[in-house]
Structures are given as structure tokens and as C-alpha cells.
């Protein structure tokens, strides 16, 4: 069993534990939750933002291990049990605030190791095939659920264009989520080979936005 924590990201507002004043709460301590279950609603900037259990939760909240705080990836079928609700109904929510403690079955964690295994070393007598080291394609994925924009709201010029050489850490686009423009950065130096979503199209967490051609 792994204890994880749901923390508010940019959301600042009011925490609602139930859909209406006289309704039962969405979740209770000790209750098992399934993918698609609503954990709560956060009212922020006049918008009612539901936190729904599932992989898409990463787009609007941080999911971390309760011990150590390292990021935790949810599988599409991950089940959990509520162990603590950190905010009172109609309480204030601030960015980074813990909202829920959840316990996840170890059987649901296949494919999501706690630590990355070190890459195997290459001895002096071994050769790495050129096809794996030259012109490798690098997918750039979304870190949020929202809407894709290749042009900044403060400019009419695209962040990058097809064929442009980019540096590691350079802004490639933004994903607007809950009124915030979340910049997507290049994970490596390379050349922009392909842009995948249409302008303004909805994107999911982990969806491929760009394909880069390695320049290393």
C-alpha cells in the first residue's frame, strides 16, 4: 500500500465537499474511490472546478507521495481509499495546500516504479547503433489538461515554428487550464519537426504536442 497526497496547484478558492448544502459529501474517510469519482469542487474565479479521480487529475492538482513528496503517476484504473480530508467544507484553498490523503493498492502501481533504474553502461568494446543516437525523435507531451495555444496571449508571433532549432528549456507553447497559461518547455535541444494539436484544441495530460528531432 502507498500513501499519496492530493495538493492544490494554482487553484485558490473555496472547498466544497458536497454538490449541494443538503447533499451527502462526494467522499468520506475510509471510502474507496474509483476512476471518475469526484473528490470535491473548488470554486475559483467564479468557476466551479471539480477534482475528478483519475489520470486527468494531474492537470489541475499535484499528486505526490505522502513520504518524500515525489511525484506519483496515476494509472487509468487506479483505485484508492480516502485516509484523510485536509480541508473543511467551505474552507479556503490556497496553492500548494494538501487536500486529501489517499491509500493506493500496490497492485495498481505496475508500470510506475518509485525510482528510475540506472541506464546500462556501454563498455569500450560496445558500439551504440547510429540509428539510436542520430536524429532521434523526441516527443514533447502536455503536463496539463486544457487548451493548446502555439501563440502567446501577449504576442501575435508563435512561440516556435516548424523547422526551428530550439534549446533545452525553451518555451514551445502553452496549455491554458482554469484561466492559467502553463508554458510547455523543450526537454532537449533539437529541431521542431511536427506540431500535433490544432490551435485552441483541447489536450489531455500526457498527450503529444510536438515532435522534436534531436540535435545532440
The confidence score (pLDDT) of residue 121 equals 47
Over 60: is that where the pLDDT of 14 sits? Answer: yes
Output the pLDDT for position 108: 40
Both 149 and 97 in one domain: the answer is no
Q: Is residue 118 part of a domain?
A: no
How many domains is the chain built from? 2
Q: Is residue 121 a part of any domain in this protein?
A: no
Matching residue, cell 500526457: 206
> What residue spans of the chain are helical by DSSP H?
130-133
Task: Give the total residue count for the chain.
Answer: 216
Do residues 102 and 149 share a domain? no
User: Per-residue pLDDT tens for 76-100?
Assistant: 567 889 999 999 999 999 888 999 9
Helix or strand holding residue 184 (H, E): strand 180-185
Task: Note down the domain range covering 77.
Answer: 2-109
| 127 part of a folded domain | no
Nearest to 26 by CA among 4, 9, 48: 48
H/E stretch holding 148: strand 146-149
The answer to whether residue 117 sits within a structural domain is: no
CATH number at residue 180: 2.40.50.100
Burial of 85 (0-12, 13-18, 19+ CB in 10 A): buried
d(CA 127, CA 150): 39
Q: What is the share, in percent, of the chain residues with pLDDT greater than 70? A: 81
103 & 153 share domain: no
216: Cα within 13 Å, side-chain hemisphere: 12
Q: Are residues 81 and 150 in the same domain?
A: no
Give the range among 15-19, 118-122, 158-162 with minimum mean pLDDT. 118-122
Q: What is the pLDDT of residues 136-179, one digit of tens each?
A: 899 999 888 888 999 887 777 889 999 999 998 899 999 888 77
153 vs 157: CA distance, rounded Å: 10
Specify if 115 maps to a domain. Answer: no
C-alpha cell at 149: 495555444
Amino acid at each position: 500500500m502507498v500513501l499519496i497526497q492530493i495538493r492544490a496547484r494554482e487553484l485558490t478558492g473555496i472547498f466544497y465537499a458536497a454538490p449541494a448544502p443538503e447533499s451527502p459529501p462526494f467522499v468520506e474517510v475510509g471510502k474507496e474511490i474509483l476512476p471518475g469519482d469526484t473528490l470535491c469542487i473548488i470554486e475559483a474565479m467564479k468557476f466551479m472546478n471539480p477534482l475528478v479521480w483519475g489520470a486527468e487529475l494531474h492537470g489541475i492538482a499535484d499528486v505526490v507521495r505522502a513520504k518524500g513528496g515525489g511525484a506519483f503517476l496515476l494509472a487509468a484504473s487506479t483505485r484508492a481509499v480516502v485516509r484523510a480530508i485536509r480541508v473543511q467544507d467551505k474552507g479556503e484553498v490556497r496553492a500548494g495546500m494538501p487536500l486529501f490523503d489517499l491509500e493506493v493498492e500496490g497492485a495498481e502501481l505496475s508500470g510506475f516504479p518509485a525510482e528510475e533504474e540506472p541506464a546500462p553502461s556501454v563498455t569500450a568494446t560496445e558500439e551504440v547503433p547510429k540509428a539510436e543516437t542520430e536524429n532521434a525523435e523526441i516527443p514533447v507531451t502536455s503536463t496539463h489538461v486544457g487548451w493548446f495555444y502555439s501563440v502567446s496571449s501577449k504576442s501575435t508571433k508563435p512561440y516556435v515554428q516548424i523547422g526551428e532549432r530550439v534549446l533545452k528549456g525553451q518555451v514551445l507553447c502553452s496549455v491554458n487550464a482554469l484561466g492559467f497559461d502553463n508554458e510547455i518547455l523543450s526537454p532537449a535541444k533539437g529541431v521542431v519537426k511536427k506540431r500535433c494539436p490544432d490551435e485552441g484544441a483541447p489536450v489531455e495530460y500526457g498527450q503529444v504536442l510536438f515532435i522534436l528531432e534531436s540535435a545532440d
